[in-house]
Structure 1
Amino acid sequence: MVDIETPDRIETIDEDFFADPHQHYRRWREHGPVRRVRFPDGVIRWVILGHAEGRAALADPRLRKNIAHVDALVSAKRETPPMDPRQLALVTHMLNIDPPDHSRLRKLVSKAFTAHRVAELRPRIEQITGALLDRMDDHDEVDLLREFAVPLPITVICELLGVPPAERDDFQQWTGDLVGVVGLEEERTRASLAMIAYLTRLVRTKQADPADDLLSGLVQVGEDGDALTEAELVAMSFLLLVAGYETTVNLIANGTHALLRHPDRLHALRADPDAIPDAVEEFLRYDGPVNLSTVRYTTDPVHIADIHIPAGELVYIALEAANRDPARYPAPDNLDHTRDTSGHLAFGHGIHFCLGAPLARMEAHIAFSTLLQRFPNLHLSPTATTINWQSSTLIRGLLELPVRLR
């Protein structure tokens, strides 16, 4: 009979964690694949590190998703007031809820991300990519994050949803405040309320005057007579904008950073551009855009890897840790685009698997293929002695990426 235990040791997320979470995960993993971790807000949560355990947890119906219940748990543990109802409504989208509501919402939006619909976007993505690289070509040194990794996906997702060009800078700022530095509650509240007001206006505009874009399609009644409410439309728009923007930005930037730090891999990829799709999967595994998954919780005691997690606990899956689990990927800290990356968890797993994964992959394929061809001497700037990362438990993203083009 296997003994079920609760780990006594409590790990801590501090500023060093954001600079290099991998060194923390390696140390934590020495004590087991499931750890208790004190987050920057002082609340102790459970973090699953192992690949097998993480993959199973992502599809485990015992680990629940209901953002209102999560908010109540966090408020009780922190002894702080619950979230503003308007902010709560903004994050009550399909990523933060379970079936049957999740199934209904995903069905209504999934038709926009079919393989055929994504393939139709390729010429426009290639056009946007070319224009951004043309603009970069006027300089010898640029911040690749600001000049390329950010504007490419933000332009694509905003065009897909029908966000006017003049309003994209505001959206980018709000998104940064919402997913960025931990502990800045006032900034997040301000950004949330601004985003709610903006998206509500945008939804009403599409309802009154629909165009040929995704959001206009979402305001229409579905084939079976089902339709999204205004609150659901606002929350869905928020999810699609943020998920479609942040993940792809960091896939491109993190992948470029990893490649420039491994010149041998960079040369190999230039010599064999057909391997770029495999390289994108390795970038996702090696330093993916999402660090910790969105939160789950237990309603009853759960046993994972012989560890007892009581009821009423908050649980995260460390996607970055799972993707570098040596039990799944040999020499996991080595960047190697020839390895078998199957089963990586960068886009999640189970019913909440990222709906926009095909679009993110296509954007990355185009971005890396065109970038490496256009600038064969691309390298890190000598000023990039220290690379700064976002202080975010959700996002694994750079704050800048200075490069020399020639």
Structure 2
Amino acid sequence: MTSHNVFEQILDPSGRADPYPLFGELRATPVARQEDGTYVVSTYREIVALLHDPRVSSDRRNLSSDAEPPDLSPAFIGLDPPEHDRLRHLAMRHFGPPHSPGTVDGLRPAMLAITTELIDGIAGKQRADLVDEVAYPLPVAVICRLLGVPQEDEPQFHAWADQIIETLGPGEEDRAERERERKTIALELERYLAGLAEARRRQPGEDLLSGFVTYRGPEGGMTPQEVVSTAVLLLIAGHETTINLIANGMLTLLRHPDLLARVRDDPGLIVPTVEELLRYEPPVQLVSSRVALDDITIAGVTIPAGSPIVLALAAGSRDPAHVTDPDRFDPCRARNEHLGFGGGVHYCFGAPLARLEAQIVLAELVRRLRGPRLVADPPPYRPSPILRGPRHLLVDYDGVEPAYTM
């Protein structure tokens, strides 16, 4: 089977439940040109090299094709240094070290309280959808709390994010059409956030939006459009990926009941378990927004300047040239150098938040659900080939253990 046929199968939603055999076939050709001119890179060493190569751009305005360009003011994930570095620094100033070192860890009590309430909500039943009833509500509540979004608007935020995610995907053939659809949806979200940002400008609070609109330092501050594009990025990246990490995690543990029992007996195992989940079942499978700024020769293939590049992170993290027994789920794996959060200057901004959310939710689900078992395996999956996770995860159980008491 040719490499472009393998990649087409990976993109096909019918294979979403288990794309890993196809990723294995894809790795046979580490750098594979597709019929639309895209180059797909699937081996660990080559992916890492390109993630750190300054000749690889994240700004699709550098494409050589005549396709409709993306937004004129993309979020920092779609920019290159120095513009990327300025905006990321401005955003991180209000989110993490060195200026706001306690922001994420300070959310731990609230995360545990929300998780407790969600699991209490399924205590009177014997069957629950762990996506709709647990995995989705926590990340949405957390990112909305961080941004300063009123609680009553959380469902609308989730709907906007879902619609935008479904327009994302690798490949160039229908990208212009997907871009137009995405912009239509994003316009509603952007208008909402612009209004919320203006309200925070007049009356600042302790949330990220307030910090974005009020901070002025040596590097200046964010423009109104940059505030909105950054908030949109944090909304989508800040909860869609975490929903999938939690759902993929619980699905994997239910498929490995011996490991689930070990985590229940030794709660400290949850930290390496989440790291192994990021390698074994990563919520972000593909990075499809890269462009070659110059001719780049890698693994014996020259990628011409202006060509789109897809990095198959999920394939790289299971590369047998990098990791022993890659298709085995092993939380005790030594030196787990996965690609779950990407790498280079675009290493995932929200990685500390996603890790903590997954650790708290999975630990509590494992501890509190008695006799959990899958209703259907595989469960139904979201169609997106980029952000992969179950659409629903129905689980039967015999009861729910009481919450921790303070």
TM-score, with length taken from structure 1: 0.89
Q: Which amino acid aligns with 1:150?
A: Y
Determine which of 69, 73, 96 is the counterpart of 1:113.
96
Q: Which whole-Å deviations, capped at 9, do the CAs of 1:253-296 have from their partners, x for residues lacking one?
A: 11111111122221222222211100000011001110101411
Q: Which amino acid aligns with 1:264?
A: D
Unpaired stretches in structure 2, ≥5 consecutive residues: 399-406
**In structure 2, C-alpha distance between the alignment counterparts of 1:58 and 1:249, rounded to whole Å:** 25
Q: Deviations over 1:32-79 (max 9, x none)?
A: 2112235xxxx3411111111111111111111213334x73xx3xxx
Matched, 1:35 2:32: yes
Partner of 1:128: 114
Give the ranges of 4+ consecutive aligned residues of structure 1 lying more than 4 Å apart after TM superposition: 80-83, 181-184
Task: Verify the 8 A CA contact 2:17 2:378 in the aligned structure 1.
Answer: no
Indicate yes or no: 2:44 matched with 1:58.
no
Q: What amino acid is aligned across from residue 227 of structure 1 in structure 2?
A: G
**Structure 2 equivalent of residue 257 of structure 1:** 251
Q: Distance in 1 between matches of 2:69 and 2:220?
A: 31
- Listed one character per residue, the Cα deviations across residues 172-223 of structure 1 (whole Å, up to 9, x for unaligned) are 1111111126678475343212112111111111112211111101111233
Contact persistence 1:125–1:156 (CA under 8 A): yes
Quote the residue 1:144 is aligned against.
130
Matches of 1:283 and 1:386 in 2, distance apart?
A: 17
Q: Which segments of 5 or more consecutive residues in structure 1 lack a partner in the other structure?
A: 1-7
Normalised TM-score (structure 2):
0.89
RMSD value, Cα: 2.0
Amino acid at match of 2:146: L
Match of 2:401 in 1: none
Measured after TM superposition, the shift of residue 139 of structure 1 is 1.5
Taking structure 1 as reference, are residues 266 and 341 closer, same or farther at Cα in structure 2, changes over 3 Å only?
farther
Name the counterpart of 1:389.
Answer: 381
Query: For 1:269 and 1:107, how far apart are their aligned partners in 2?
Result: 37
How does 1:137-176 map onto structure 2 within 5 Å? 137-176=123-162
* SS of equivalent residue, structure 2 residue 217: coil
Name the aligned partner's letter for residue 13 of structure 1: E
- The aligned amino acid for 2:380 is N
In the alignment, which residue of structure 1 is the partner of 2:23? 25
| 2:84 corresponds to 1:102 | yes
How much identity, in percent, do the aligned residues show? Answer: 37
AA paired with 1:342?
A: N
1:117 aligned counterpart, secondary structure? coil
Equivalent in 340, 352, 368 of residue 358 of structure 1: 352
- Of 341-350 and 153-162, deviating more is 341-350
**2:361 is equivalent to residue 367 of structure 1:** yes
**One-letter identity of the residue aligned with 1:34:** V
> What is the match of residue 301 of structure 1?
295
Q: Residue 32 of structure 2 aligns to which amino acid in structure 1?
A: R
Count of residue pairs brought into register by the alignment: 382
Instruction: Find the aligned partners of 1:9 and 1:336 in 2 and give their Cα distance.
Output: 29
Residue 45 in 1 paired to residue 27 in 2?
no
Q: Distance in 2 between matches of 1:152 and 1:288?
A: 19
1:82 positional shift = 4.2
